[in-house]
Structure 1
Amino acid sequence: MAWIILVLAGFFEVGFTTCMKLANNFTNWKWSLGFFICIACSFFLLNKATQTIPLGMAYAVWSGIGAVGTVLVGILFFKEDANFWKIFFICTLIASIIGLKLLGGKA
């Protein structure tokens, strides 16, 4: 269950970075509100997950999900560049996240 909570925390991290972009320097109140809701949910869930998953592993997975998700949102919705090297390194991040999950609490 802690891993599901951690993945949800990572998704909320993607949510707050996306809202931050759309908030336009916090001049758009709806996206600004979304930012604060997502960041609060993300940190709350991350904190909950670290009660079971070791802190270093939880943080690495959380930030990896956020990084991969944010890059994918940028490519898919904001028309950011998607060159070979960007995709290659995103794939290595995904492989690292999977590797940490497979290690579980053994790291």
Structure 2
Amino acid sequence: MAWIFLILAGIFEMFGVAMINKLHRDQNWQALLLLLAGFGASFIFLALAMETLPMGTAYAVWTGIGASGGAILGMVLYGESKDWKRMMFISMVLSAAIGLKLIS
């Protein structure tokens, strides 16, 4: 169950990052509330995952999902570069997160 919590934490982290961009564009209170809800849920699920998983593993996987997911959202939603080098490094981050899961 801890790994499910950790994946949910990463997904909410991605949502929070997307809401930062929305808040920057729209500058309204709904975007701010969504941003706070996304990051709040992310921290709650991270805390639940860390009740079982080691802190280093949980934090590394959480940041990996958030960073990779944020970069992918930027490419899909906001037209950011889809250069092969960028894709390779995103793959490396995700591979490292999977590797931590396999050895934990």
The answer to whether the 8 A contact 1:20-1:26 is kept is: no
- 4+ residue segments displaced more than 3 Å: none
Q: 1:59 aligns to what?
A: 59
Structure with a larger share of its residues in helix: 2
Q: Which runs of 5+ in 1 are unaligned?
A: none
Name the % identity: 38
Residues 26 and 32, structure 1, Cα contact 8 Å, conserved in 2: no
- The aligned counterpart of 2:75 is 75
Q: Which runs of 5+ in 2 are unaligned?
A: none
Please give the residue correspondences for 1:44-55 in structure 2 after superposition, counting only pairs within 5 Å: 44-55=44-55
Give 1:3's aligned amino acid.
Answer: W
CA distance in 2, matches of 1:53, 1:62: 12
3-state DSSP of counterpart to 2:81: coil
Verify the 8 A CA contact 1:68 1:90 in the aligned structure 2.
yes
Residue 58 of structure 1 deviates from its aligned partner by: 0.1
CA RMSD of aligned residues (A): 1.1
Structural mapping, 1:5-20, within 5 Å:
5-20=5-20
Residues 75 and 97 of structure 1, relative CA distance in 2, 3 Å threshold: same
- C-alpha deviation, 1:48, in angstroms: 0.8
Give the aligned partner of residue 33 of structure 2: 33
Output one character per residue of 1:26-72: Cα deviation in whole Å (capped at 9) or x when no partner. 82211111000011100011011000000000000000000110000
**1:25 Cα deviation (Å)?**
7.0
- In 2: Cα distance, 1:82 partner to 1:29 partner: 32
**Partner residue of 1:93?**
93
Length-normalised TM-score, structure 2: 0.96
One-letter code aligned to 2:78 = F
Q: Distance in 1 between matches of 2:86 and 2:24?
A: 25
Aligned residues: 104
